[in-house]
Amino acid sequence: MLANMNRPAPVELCHKNMRFLITHNPTDSTLTSFIEDLKQFGATTVVRVCDITYDKTPLEKDGITVVLVDDWLSLLKKKFQEEPGCCVAVHCVAGLGRAPVLVALALIESGMKYEDAIQLIRQKRRGAINSKQLTYLEKYRSKHRLRFKDSHAHKNKCCIM
């Protein structure tokens, strides 16, 4: 039980028509509170960026889809075009490394400078993104895959990755 006490709370990050929820990795014993967190943010999709540590059946019973991080940017493009303003939750183990890096990539692809993306994430998630990950993001070149035309009003549906 003590291990769960040190886990950071879920963090919501919004930019343009995108909403993300960065969380820690749930276990079967913490799944109920994890699902409550997802519902609180209206997340309907969870993206897993780590080994499977929990049974996704209870999530699916609650109408939450759990997917692996096979094609992050394509998934986001589809999700945010179909439901602008929806929220996508993403977790690795602690929510400090891989999950924030994926959100940073999405922000950079939407037109944000990498320094601004790091600053935005670290304001919300202290200790996120290590020096090796920082170097990767610094060298990353955007292809502007997540630039959207603001065609319709934003809805507040959350999709957890």
**Average pLDDT of the chain?**
85
CA 47 to chain centre: 7
How much is the pLDDT for 150? 56
How much is the pLDDT for 161? 53
How much is the pLDDT for 160? 57
Q: Quick check: pTM over 0.85?
A: no
Q: What would the pLDDT profile of 46-92 be if each residue is shown by its tens digit?
A: 988 877 888 999 999 999 888 887 678 888 999 889 988 888 999 88
| DSSP classification of residue 22 | E
Contact indicator for 47, 26 with CB cutoff of 8 Å: no
pLDDT at 2 > cutoff 50:
no
Contact indicator for 22, 125 with CB cutoff of 8 Å: yes
Domains in the chain: ranges and CATH: 2-139 (3.90.190.10)
Q: What would the pLDDT profile of 10-40 be if each residue is shown by its tens digit?
A: 999 898 888 999 998 898 999 999 999 999 9
Alpha-carbon distance values, 160 to 64, 67, 136 (Å): 8, 9, 24
